[in-house]
Amino acid sequence: MDYTVELREKGIAAKQAAQKLAVISTTVKNLALVNMAEALEENIRTILEANGLDLENGRAKGMSNALLDRLMLDSLRIKSMADGLREIAQLADPIGETLSGWRRPNGLEITKLRVPIGVIGIIYEARPNVTADAAGLCLKTGNAVILRGGSEAINSNLAVARLLAQAAEKTGIPAGAIQLLETTDRQAVNALLKLNQYLDVIIPRGGAGLIKTVLENSSVPVIETGTGVCHTFVDESADLAMAQAIAFNAKVSRPGVCNAMETLLVHKKVAERFLPMMLAQYRKAGVELRGCPQTMTYNSSVIPGSEDDWAAEFHDLILAVKVVESLDEALAHIAKYGTRHSEAIITTDYNNAKRFQQEVDAAAVYVNASTRFTDGFEFGFGAEIGISTQKLHARGPMGLEELTSVKYLINGNGQIR
Amino acid sequence: MDYTVELREKGIAAKQAAQKLAVISTTVKNLALVNMAEALEENIRTILEANGLDLENGRAKGMSNALLDRLMLDSLRIKSMADGLREIAQLADPIGETLSGWRRPNGLEITKLRVPIGVIGIIYEARPNVTADAAGLCLKTGNAVILRGGSEAINSNLAVARLLAQAAEKTGIPAGAIQLLETTDRQAVNALLKLNQYLDVIIPRGGAGLIKTVLENSSVPVIETGTGVCHTFVDESADLAMAQAIAFNAKVSRPGVCNAMETLLVHKKVAERFLPMMLAQYRKAGVELRGCPQTMTYNSSVIPGSEDDWAAEFHDLILAVKVVESLDEALAHIAKYGTRHSEAIITTDYNNAKRFQQEVDAAAVYVNASTRFTDGFEFGFGAEIGISTQKLHARGPMGLEELTSVKYLINGNGQIR
């Protein structure tokens, strides 16, 4: 099918579904989520067969082992997708909440109500679990979703999306609520980004390249997620044992994620006491170190850090390290190289803690804790659709509430102006 | 000056100013607003001279009288700009408000704080009063602003913006907080729309053409404002005297604004009792009527309504009128032709009122009141930067809160993950 036809058909179907979804009861949505989970578990073989095709194609194309691992499903991973859907069913439904209400002098009663956004486009890469995850979060919040996964995972995604859509429909969810683009034509993404008539928002989930493409080409509003060049600043007043534990955790616990630390900043007054032991611990854990000239004096394996390193999201066991003159220099460095994601100070000084939290412009600003906590689950949201690094609509971890909009209901008895 | 150089310089200055503005006290911001108001009033002659140049150029180019009137300033209009700034000074400062806060099981204390957005771009047309209005609202909310007004008003805008920036700076507001693009090169707008490095959001204020251009070309997040194809539906159970008063007000009180009604929908069961007197009243007020065949039977001056008329934002004393079979048909018509701005039902039926408010997808959904109330001042916000017709970030009238973002402060005592 020509992708423009497919996009139009799916857009219309999604918009019609969204209208109905907005008024469907929480009970039906939760039941659908549970049935969707069961459908995945009951059809593991179907999903694995489809996934096998994708893996075969991937191998034939010489896909790397890391990518093949992302693409690969097994019964455990499918079970985990199903469990994710059941957990979403357990969460409170944000739709219908009255956010505020007041009466105007002329008697008009105004109520601000939480409603679904409408139709959400999700563009993602080669992880088929995103299909179930995104479909579940959108359904719970009464939004129709149009999914566009990576072409490498097309068979897996189609299998999963069909099972989910069927199970949802059987439970009373309108057709068109969960749809996946079938075309793998690359032009289809660009066309999706211009589908303002049907889409209310697009959320890209993936690497920097994907996010950049979406941002630059979309006329549909976008929620930017992702890139995290996060810093930890060890202040001169820091408890150095605490600093060591946090700085180690922030880099090493999971280096491939966006809330991992990429650059360690250390106040010059504690550099000599702190860095030798810290750098040795990193080296033992296999961390490659790129440092400023002073950092290099504390460990012989540190290689010279370049301008590129200060700006890099390594996504790997690589760390940039810099000794700074002052809190001011740390703040300036973060303002220059940070991506407004997560930043931490380790300090025992009240004023420095306060200044850092006030002046650092980021979604999450920590005192004496690891940046790794920037996460919807760790924040207690019970779900996460991504971490927003923009300032409009949503900032930081996005849970169910971030997939909603508002609407004003105004009740009068004949008011005119 | 080459506009790319100007944009870069102003972008850098705005970003630096925004960092400082975020922590400036409410007292200083309010004092600056009052001083800005005074600066306008003390320099009326300077502003009028600049405005005179714009008017002269406009006349030479054959600008219409309506446009010349929009462009024209006099001492009353300048006084009103100044009063607007003083009113903004009186409003509560939303910045610094704690929106929520909680403690996690691991002891992390999370606080969600209201902060400025950062740098806001405002693109507008030939009304020089927007210069003062937008500058005031952005300053109050701690945002730096880059203004780009219509080239027809460049001299007026420059005069106003310079006076405002000087007065603000003298009061302790950082330089770069209020800037106006000096170039009138049309390419500069396109370049501004791609200035993601410096701008956090762009708000277009103007006609449909401007908004479309911005939406289609901006890679910076946009808040869409404006277009309102608003309906009033007279239900079969309506109090017809009330319906007449509201329907008249919604069209006639100020036909050129976005919350004015463009299409009147009438239930067939009351059409014969309601429409003859209603249409006669419109005709008396000089309203041109375009109707469905049945509407045409009630007044001889009604001309046939076309598909285009149902979708039109007339911005004028023109009204489309349609008789519908049922509430369902009214809902379907609104879903098809509405722009999600403001919609009203006139009814005495509880269930119909409820259904209308639940099912209509619009920023403001009225029962028994005029759509003309969709307005930041009428809602009690004390200010308005525009009316959002999108669903992300802000929906409906945007006051000061809609010019803010959030930030999470996380306080720990050594937590790692």
B206: left (phi over 0), alpha (psi -120 to 50) or beta: left
- The closest CB to that of A391, out of B200, B249, B358, belongs to B200
Asked if residue B323 and residue B307 are part of one domain, the reply reads yes
Q: Are B319 and B251 in contact (CB under 8 A)?
A: yes
From the CA of A392, how many Å to the nearest CA of chain B?
A: 6
With bands split at pLDDT 50, 70 and 90, how would you rate the model's confidence at B184? confident
- Other Cβ atoms less than 10 A from the Cβ of A42: the count is 12
Asked if residue B297 and residue B187 are part of one domain, the reply reads no
What confidence tens digit (pLDDT) does each residue in B93-138 have?
Answer: 999 999 999 999 999 999 999 999 999 999 998 789 999 999 999 9
Beta-bridge partners for A304: A291
Name the DSSP class of A173.
P
What angle separates helix A240-252 from helix A268-284, to the nearest 10 degrees?
Answer: 40
Mean pLDDT, chain B, rounded, equals 95
The predicted pLDDT at position A1 comes to 66
Q: Is B136 exposed, middle or buried (0-12, 13-18, 19+ CB in 10 A)?
A: buried
- A residues 181-220 near B, CB within 8 Å? 196, 200-201, 215-217, 219
Asked if residue A268 and residue A249 are part of one domain, the reply reads yes
What confidence tens digit (pLDDT) does each residue in B282-312 have?
Answer: 999 999 999 999 999 999 999 999 999 999 9
Per the CB < 8 Å rule, is A393 touching B395? no
What confidence tens digit (pLDDT) does each residue in A41-96 have?
Answer: 999 999 999 999 999 999 999 999 888 998 999 999 999 999 999 999 999 999 99
Number of domains forming the structure of chain B:
2
| A402 assigned to some structural domain | yes
Residue A24's nearest CA partner among A35, A32, A14 is: A32
- B residues 217-276 near A, CB within 8 Å? 217, 219, 221-224, 239, 242, 245-246, 248-250, 253
From the CA of B371, how many Å to the nearest CA of chain A?
A: 9
Question: Is the pLDDT assigned to residue A127 strictly greater than 90?
Answer: no
Span B394-416, average pLDDT: 97
Question: Is the pLDDT assigned to residue A411 strictly greater than 70?
Answer: yes
Q: Are A105 and A38 in contact (CB under 8 A)?
A: no
DSSP assignments along B143-205, one per residue: -EEEEE--GGGHHHHHHHHHHHHHHHHHTTPPTTSEEE-----THHHHHHTT-TTT-SEEEEE
Question: Is the pLDDT assigned to residue A224 strictly greater than 90?
Answer: no
Per the CB < 8 Å rule, is A391 touching B118? yes
> Which residue of B lies nearest to A108 if distances are taken between CA atoms?
B369
Best mutation target among B95, B352, B415 (most A Cβ atoms within 10 Å) is: B415
Length of chain A: 417
Asked if residue A266 and residue A159 are part of one domain, the reply reads no
Q: Is A196 exposed, middle or buried (0-12, 13-18, 19+ CB in 10 A)?
A: middle
Is A173 touching B (CB cutoff 8 A)? no
> Which residue of B lies nearest to A397 if distances are taken between CA atoms?
B408
What confidence tens digit (pLDDT) does each residue in B201-243 have?
Answer: 999 988 888 888 998 899 899 998 878 999 999 999 999 999 9
Q: Please tell me the distance from the alpha carbon of residue A364 to that of residue B335, in angstroms, as a whole number.
A: 39
Q: Please tell me the distance from the alpha carbon of residue A258 to that of residue A264, in angstroms, as a whole number.
A: 15
Q: Please tell me the distance from the alpha carbon of residue B246 to that of residue A108, in angstroms, as a whole number.
A: 14
Per the CB < 8 Å rule, is B196 touching A215? yes
Asked if residue B132 and residue B42 are part of one domain, the reply reads yes
Per the CB < 8 Å rule, is B108 touching A373? yes
What confidence tens digit (pLDDT) does each residue in B314-356 have?
Answer: 999 999 999 999 999 999 999 999 999 999 999 999 999 999 9
> Which residue of B lies nearest to A375 if distances are taken between CA atoms?
B417
Q: Please tell me the distance from the alpha carbon of residue B233 to that of residue B330, in angstroms, as a whole number.
A: 7
Per the CB < 8 Å rule, is B406 touching A393? no
Residues 6 or more apart whose CB falls under 8 angstroms from that of B314 comprise B255, B262, B320
Is A98 touching B (CB cutoff 8 A)? no
Q: Are A331 and A347 in contact (CB under 8 A)?
A: no
Q: Please tell me the distance from the alpha carbon of residue B139 to that of residue A199, in angstroms, as a whole number.
A: 33
The predicted pLDDT at position A176 comes to 97
DSSP assignments along A284-350, one per residue: HTT-EEEE-HHHHTT-TTPEEP-HHHHT----SSEEEEEEESSHHHHHHHHHHH--SSEEEEE-S-H
Sort out which chain B residues have CB atoms less than 8 A from A365's CB and list them: 407-410
- The closest CB to that of B380, out of A102, A222, A409, belongs to A102
What angle separates helix B350-359 from helix B327-337, to the nearest 10 degrees?
Answer: 20
Is A398 touching B (CB cutoff 8 A)? no
The predicted pLDDT at position B41 comes to 98
DSSP assignments along B244-275, one per residue: HHHHHHHHHS-TTSTTSEEEEEEEHHHHHHHH
Sort out which chain A residues have CB atoms less than 8 A from B216's CB and list them: 219
| A385 assigned to some structural domain | no
| B308 assigned to some structural domain | yes
- The closest CB to that of A366, out of B23, B104, B410, belongs to B410
C-alpha dist (Å) from residue B370 to B243, B280, B295: 9, 20, 22
How many helical (H) and strand (E) elements, i.e. helices and strands, does chain A have? 15, 16
Sort out which chain A residues have CB atoms less than 8 A from B219's CB and list them: 215-217
Sign of CA pseudo-dihedral B132, B138, B144, B150: negative
Residues 6 or more apart whose CB falls under 8 angstroms from that of A104 comprise A110, B378, B379, B380
- B residues 322-381 near A, CB within 8 Å? 335, 353, 357-359, 361-370, 372-374, 378-380
Asked if residue B259 and residue B161 are part of one domain, the reply reads no
Residue A137's nearest CA partner among A383, A395, A379, A380 is: A383
Question: Is the pLDDT assigned to residue B40 strictly greater than 80?
Answer: yes
Question: Is the pLDDT assigned to residue A226 strictly greater than 90?
Answer: no
| B389 assigned to some structural domain | no
Per the CB < 8 Å rule, is B357 touching A409? yes
Sort out which chain B residues have CB atoms less than 8 A from A110's CB and list them: 379-380
| A384 assigned to some structural domain | no
What confidence tens digit (pLDDT) does each residue in A280-328 have?
Answer: 999 999 999 999 999 999 999 999 999 999 999 999 999 999 999 999 9
Say how many CB pairs under 8 Å bridge A and B: 205
ipTM for the whole predicted complex goes beyond 0.95: no
| A172 assigned to some structural domain | yes
What's the domain range around B308? 230-373
Q: Please tell me the distance from the alpha carbon of residue B63 to that of residue B121, in angstroms, as a whole number.
A: 27
C-alpha dist (Å) from residue B314 to A301, B163, B289: 72, 37, 11
Q: Please tell me the distance from the alpha carbon of residue B216 to that of residue B221, in angstroms, as a whole number.
A: 11
Angle subtended at Cα B89 by Cα B83 and Cα B93, rounded to the nearest 5 degrees? 150
Best mutation target among A217, A361, A377, A387 (most B Cβ atoms within 10 Å) is: A361
Name the DSSP class of B1.
-
Q: Please tell me the distance from the alpha carbon of residue B177 to that of residue B13, in angstroms, as a whole number.
A: 8
Sort out which chain B residues have CB atoms less than 8 A from A364's CB and list them: 407-408, 410
Best mutation target among A261, A373, A388, A389 (most B Cβ atoms within 10 Å) is: A373
Residue B111's nearest CA partner among A3, A366, A385 is: A366
Q: Give the CATH number for residue A172.
A: 3.40.605.10
From the CA of B301, how many Å to the nearest CA of chain A?
A: 26
Asked if residue A238 and residue A97 are part of one domain, the reply reads no
Per the CB < 8 Å rule, is B391 touching A246? no
With bands split at pLDDT 50, 70 and 90, how would you rate the model's confidence at A186? confident
Asked if residue A238 and residue A167 are part of one domain, the reply reads no
Asked if residue A268 and residue A193 are part of one domain, the reply reads no
The predicted pLDDT at position A126 comes to 78
Per the CB < 8 Å rule, is B221 touching A221? yes
Is B110 touching A (CB cutoff 8 A)? yes
Is B22 touching A (CB cutoff 8 A)? yes
Q: Please tell me the distance from the alpha carbon of residue B139 to that of residue B93, in angstroms, as a whole number.
A: 10
Best mutation target among B249, B407, B411, B413 (most A Cβ atoms within 10 Å) is: B407
Angle subtended at Cα B153 by Cα B152 and Cα B159, rounded to the nearest 5 degrees? 150
What confidence tens digit (pLDDT) does each residue in B154-167 have?
Answer: 999 999 999 999 99
- The closest CB to that of A110, out of B335, B379, B406, belongs to B379
Per the CB < 8 Å rule, is B414 touching A368? yes
Per the CB < 8 Å rule, is A369 touching B412? yes
| B347 assigned to some structural domain | yes
Q: SS3 of A37, please? A: helix
Beta-bridge partners for B204: B123
Beta-bridge partners for B290: B303, B320
From the CA of A344, how many Å to the nearest CA of chain B?
A: 9
Q: Please tell me the distance from the alpha carbon of residue B362 to that of residue B5, in angstroms, as a whole number.
A: 41
Asked if residue A282 and residue A262 are part of one domain, the reply reads yes
Span A386-390, average pLDDT: 92
Per the CB < 8 Å rule, is A364 touching B408? yes
Asked if residue B176 and residue B104 are part of one domain, the reply reads yes
Span A347-367, average pLDDT: 97
From the CA of B39, how many Å to the nearest CA of chain A?
A: 31
Q: Please tell me the distance from the alpha carbon of residue B246 to that of residue A413, in angstroms, as a whole number.
A: 10
Is A86 touching B (CB cutoff 8 A)? no
Q: Please tell me the distance from the alpha carbon of residue B417 to that of residue B415, in angstroms, as a whole number.
A: 7
Span A235-246, average pLDDT: 98
The predicted pLDDT at position B174 comes to 97
Question: Is the pLDDT assigned to residue B191 strictly greater than 80?
Answer: yes
Q: Give the CATH number for residue B310.
A: 3.40.309.10
Per the CB < 8 Å rule, is B365 touching A405? no
Asked if residue A198 and residue A130 are part of one domain, the reply reads yes
With bands split at pLDDT 50, 70 and 90, how would you rate the model's confidence at B383? confident
- The closest CB to that of B392, out of A201, A361, A396, belongs to A201
The predicted pLDDT at position B185 comes to 87
From the CA of B38, how many Å to the nearest CA of chain A?
A: 31
| B149 assigned to some structural domain | yes
Residue A309's nearest CA partner among A253, A275, A263, A252 is: A263
Span B159-187, average pLDDT: 96
> Which residue of B lies nearest to A220 if distances are taken between CA atoms?
B215
The predicted pLDDT at position A225 comes to 85
